[in-house]
Amino acid sequence: METLAYLARQPILNRDGKIFAYELLFRDSPISESAVIHNGVQATAQVLENVLNNIGLSKLIGNHKAFVNCSREMLLDNLFCLLNPDRFVLEILETVKPDEAVIRAVEQYHKKGFQLALDDFIYTPETIDEWAPIFPYISYVKMDLVDNTPKNRALAASYFKSRGIYVLAEKVETENDFNECLKEGYDFFQGFFFAKPELVTSRKMDSTTSAILDLLQKLRSEQNLDDISCAFEKYPELIHKLLSYINARDSFKKPLVSIREALIQIGIKHLNHWLLLLLYSRPEMGDSPQSSPLFQNASHRARFLENLGKAIDPEGDLAAKAFIVGLMSRMDALFKMPFQNILPSLSVDKDIQEALLLKKGRLGLLLRLADAVELDLHREIRICSEELGLSSEVLTQCIHDAYIWIMDD
């Protein structure tokens, strides 16, 4: 029997808020009626099989590193010997006991060039003594903000950094958490704090953003070149940007002067990606939106919700609107503005506004499902899936397909 399960990834950010790595996680399908995998070896093996054979490492994590969970059995079974040590970090689970066999296995992986991490470390004198023989081979220690007191969290940062070990804060859920850990010297951060910044109510949305969203929605629902050309003609500033982009990219060719020529040259797929990059190219993100967790999360959500929309309503416009909802769902974090301030400046449909503001309607239900999948909330996933009429198989396929979608330049 095929096990219904899916692969999840969580970004690990550096001190600048840019993506450093991803933790790859196995998830049992919460709405599956078939048997699920409870064995840790099988779970990690399925993650690796998905990454290496089905999705592809570069499509899933780009040029970043991948943290994968590692149980005692996996360490002793040499499960990771076929992996590239430059791309994978072996994350030793908190349930592992550092006995002689484990220490020998860790030493061998270290000799092969692997970096290793300790997961969910609880900082106490007892755990320091217990794990001391492992520390010479460890590159990262992950500190759970929930299970460690603020005092021990700060002590741990000082202790491990003095030994050349990076410290990573887990379950960083607010901007305040992030700032506190920054002060304490933490090197890396994991959690959804990047999507929950402090909001400023006095800022306004610019007209270019509204134009980009309008064009993106048309692109998802219309593939007629003439219609798309007409839509572009309403936005001279974007035409200028697109022509400049293509002429600079293809400098050896005759310069383009019309939007129709430009659309033929760039193609619909690359036009989608160019508009997405333009939308998320903000000064606070630097020169590379692809390194921004908000860009990665919003683009993945957009594709995931679009996939779900096609599955639910193949003939209607649900998929095109769902794509925009997913894309816009992180705009409050991007612009540090509440949606109440953002939406009046944008010409989006009422059902899109209700989904973003109130989580109402089918679009709102899809957004709730995306939130639940990211947070691994099984009960909420079941409720939303049942209301939308989604099976485990369809949900799992939509999740995988969203990862396969590459954001090309």
Write out pLDDT tens, residues 350-397.
999 999 999 999 999 999 999 999 888 889 999 999 999 999 889 988
Query: Is residue 153 very low, low, confident or very high in pLDDT (cuts 50, 70, 90)?
Result: very high
Mean residue pLDDT of the chain comes to 84
Reported for 123-128, long-range contacts at CB under 8 A and 24+ positions apart, including other chains, are 123/148, 123/152, 123/153, 123/155, 123/156, 123/159, 124/152, 128/159
Which among 24, 27, 25, 20 is positioned nearest to 3, based on CA atoms?
27
Q: What is the per-residue burial (b if ≥16 Cβ within 10 Å, else e) of 122-159? A: ebeeeeeeebeebbebbebbbbbbeebeeeebbbbbeb
How far apart are the C-alpha atoms of 89 and 140, rounded to whole Å? 9
How far apart are the C-alpha atoms of 346 and 214, rounded to whole Å? 8
Say whether pLDDT at 265 is over 50: yes
Q: Retrieve residue 405's tokens.
A: 């979608």
Tell me the whole-structure pTM to 2 decimals: 0.79
Task: Pick left, alpha or beta for residue 160 (phi over 0 → left; psi -120 to 50 → alpha; otherwise beta).
Answer: alpha
How far apart are the C-alpha atoms of 227 and 267, rounded to whole Å? 14
| Domains of the chain, first to last | 5-195 (3.20.20.450), 207-404 (1.10.3210)
Chain segment 312-354, per-residue pLDDT in tens: 999 888 998 999 899 889 888 877 888 888 887 777 789 999 9
Looking at per-residue confidence, does 91 or 279 come out higher?
91
